[in-house]
Structure 1
């Protein structure tokens, strides 16, 4: 009870209690005929009751000021609870103080927040450019890091005062060259795969790590995947033909990347290219005609002669791989010949081409007499040669011979559902279509 020494006389408390002379008194249960009786005329049993109750109330009253009600707090009210401290974004990999780190390393983050940024500097203070992967958890340097160099990593928005440092590996004694079948600044057809070749076989157990470092960016974005044709060649294609006008940025970020147990990628390779108009060539053996369509419109039908019965042409989806104004063709022991052929466009590794064949003009559009190539007239060969670019698709159907998988850029001869199985990584997830929105009103801006 918090009162003056003289008590709190006459102060009425909660639930009918009275404070007199420093004692809290309560109305008695049972026979109470008047205030005087309540104060003075009660018997001993009643007195004992009052004393017990007074002791209880007095204990409660000690927690409050005289005559004031005890403060009540809602159990759900957390206004007095200290705020939970936000977990800082930190560097998860490489570990702080790590040495012998690959120059192809990436910066893994823990507790990454949207908009987190990473800064890497070397011992001279030079900053390394880079960007975050789509997962928001991994930051990729834009160039290969230097060998035997110390780096410091700082993450923005972190309240951790420490910084992560690591040192890269010394230059390895054995390296493997990596190349891509594209030239910087060139334009390619809509079926052009990104063809990556390694100077020697790479380990199968490294395929997944390698794929992660083969970076293809398309604008507009298009879903694509890698397919391993062999231990030294992997291709990338989109789900459907590239959209005309697509820009491609390809970075083979393999410099310093482990490719075998003892060999590493020699350096990074970067190529920027463009996808041109959509040109599609299709030949039907039943009609001996080739249809050439550009951007969905048939622009010419060309009579052809395909491979004769002993050397049939392959049926399947092919791609123009190479072009030359002339090449020397040679037969084998069973059919020896040497012939200079003009306006040639290669579509298989095994030696099938589209080319000018003036000697078979009388057969073109009627019968098959070639060694497996697509024969066309000189005029049509020149016209077609001047029209096509590498990466244009060429499909043949109706012949008795099936195109062998891997005999050229056969990427389009498998459906997407089968092609994705050739990757060492899980199949990519196609983004959900954007939700449709109501049509704008007549007064709304449609810019």
Structure 2
């Protein structure tokens, strides 16, 4: 039989042990369960809801919180045409999948089911901006004009907009020329409506050019917006280059870098010298009326002329052509007597006409004239590459 002191100690030890188990919790199964989260109704938000000048190309989104989207309808209130859109796999967000029209109002109705199983409907409206004017992105040369022949290695690509461009940087960001094989190139703004693209060097023969203007919905400034997008493809044909030398009064012809012919020529006389530099052929006519009044020298001026010429290829907008001129045959190969054109005899003029086309190059040296201005239709090659790059709005 234990002494009384030993019995008292055992009792105290047992009580302490029970207290320790009770404080630590152990695995007694007496814990309280975690509270169940409250299940909420869905909250639906519509981007730009109530906007009065929304961009027609910024996608509209409908998003659900605390639930899932069941259906979304976006309808033009005037035409009743429904806007295409897609719901993401998680059924949380609907996104419009096509551009909207200018100056149009759209009604959006979205249905969702909340985490609590209750249905929710959300309505909204969006009105897009109404332009004061819309600018079309016209292309030069027209793709149809060169669909069969392709373009020459000197051909710049020109977007001519039908309205002035104030925010040139915003527009230029939406323009592209993709060359295959890849070649370095850049844009140059001639003025507020004309922007040119040329490569650093002449195009490689056989190049394919994919040209795009993604300008629909772009703010050109002063209330003008892009009227539509445009994408076209050009093909660069064989390299044809003529080197006209005023000092020798002869022109060497090169096909894919190899000289194939030399022709006697007569260029502009001292009073009307031919411009220096690389000229690009922009038009060709088997028969053409040469009229100096088209560039400001009209009747009454001693230098005025009007004549019918054959085998004519335009090389600038300043009245310069390569063409047949029977009246200067005696001077061809010895002196320069024209009003600025490059004159050939009948045989050479016809041969040149048959082998050269849009985008091919005529390089003029030793003419005594000024350099062809960059703004003279295709004076693009008169600038160095550094000067050309400075004409970009994104420089």
TM-score computed with the length of structure 2 as normaliser: 0.68
Aligned to 1:211: 172
Give the Cα separation in 1 of the matches to 2:97 and 2:83.
17
Q: Distance in 2 between matches of 1:143 and 1:348?
A: 43
Q: Which moved more, 1:187-196 or 1:400-409?
A: 400-409
Residue in structure 2 matched with residue 268 of structure 1 by the alignment: 229
1:122 to 1:190, Cα distance in 2 relative to 1, 3 A: farther
Aligned pairs, how many? 296
Q: Report how far residue 122 of structure 1 moved.
A: 6.9
TM-score computed with the length of structure 1 as normaliser: 0.60
Out of 411, 414, 422, the position equivalent to 2:380 is 411
Deviation at 1:285, TM superposition (A): 0.9
CA distance in 2, matches of 1:182, 1:405: 17
The aligned counterpart of 1:175 is: 134
Residue 391 (structure 2) aligned to one of 409, 422, 430: 422
8 A contact 1:254–1:265 mirrored in 2: yes
Q: Is the Cα–Cα contact under 8 Å of residues 182 and 271 in structure 1 kept in the other structure?
A: no
User: Which aligned pairs between 1:88-127 and structure 2 lie closer than 5 A?
Assistant: 97=49, 99=51, 100-105=53-58, 124=82, 126=84
CA distance in 1: counterparts of 2:211 and 2:178, whole angstroms: 6
Residue 201 of structure 1: aligned partner:
164
Q: Is the 8 A contact 2:59 2:99 kept in 1?
A: no
Q: Is the 8 A contact 1:143 1:268 kept in 2?
A: no
Q: CA deviation at 1:352?
A: 0.6
Per-residue deviation, 1:232: 1.4
Which residue in the other structure is 1:355 paired with? 323
Residue 341 (structure 2) pairs with residue 341 (structure 1): no
SS of residue paired to 1:291: strand
Q: C-alpha separation between the residues in 1 aligned to 2:143 and 2:185? A: 20
SS of corresponding position for 1:380: helix
Distance 1:210 1:255 in 2: 10
Q: CA deviation at 1:315?
A: 0.9
Question: Residues 104 and 351 from structure 1, CA distance in 2 versus in 1: closer, same or farther, beyond 3 angstroms?
Answer: farther
State the match for 1:10 in structure 2.
Answer: none
- Greater alpha carbon shift after TM alignment, 181-190 vs 269-278: 181-190
Structure 1 position 296 matched with structure 2 position 296: no
Match of 1:222 among 174, 183, 189: 183
| Within-5 A mapping of 1:293-442 | 293-331=254-292, 332=297, 333-402=301-370, 403-426=372-395
Match of 1:280 in 2: 241
Q: Is the 8 A contact 2:269 2:336 kept in 1?
A: yes
How much has 1:325 moved relative to structure 2? 1.5
Shift of 1:363: 0.8
CA contact (8 A) 2:85 2:97 kept: no
SS in 2 for 1:381: helix
Helix, strand or coil for the counterpart of 1:230? coil
Distance 1:353 1:401 in 2: 15
CA distance in 1, matches of 2:324, 2:97: 46
Deviations 1:380-416 (A, max 9, x none): 1111111112111111011221123322301111111
Q: Over residues 337-391 of structure 1, what are the superposed CA-to-partner deviations in whole Å (9 max), with x where a residue is unaligned?
A: 3210111111111111111111111111110110010001111111111111211
In structure 2, the CA distance between the partners of 1:371 and 1:382, relative to structure 1 (3 Å rule), is same
Q: What is the CA-CA distance between 1:170 and the residue it aligns to?
A: 4.6
What is the CA-CA distance between 1:143 and the residue it aligns to?
Answer: 8.3
C-alpha contact 1:305 1:367 (8 A) present in aligned 2: yes
Rg larger for: 1
Q: Which runs of 5+ in 1 are unaligned?
A: 1-21, 23-93, 108-120, 129-140, 153-164, 427-447
Separation in structure 2 between the aligned mates of residue 352 and residue 198 of structure 1, nearest angstrom = 26
1:374 and 1:193 mapped to 2: Cα distance?
22
Change (3 A) 1:407 1:291: same
Distance 2:317 2:346 in 1: 23
* 1:125-144 equivalences in 2 (<5 Å): 126=84
CA distance in 2, matches of 1:275, 1:362: 37
SS of equivalent to 1:422: coil
Q: Distance in 2 between matches of 1:271 and 1:166?
A: 36
Is the 1:328–1:340 contact (alpha carbons within 8 Å) kept by the matching residues of 2? yes
| Preserved contact between residue 284 and residue 396 of structure 1 (Cα < 8 Å) | yes
Q: 1:182 offset after TM fit, Å?
A: 2.7
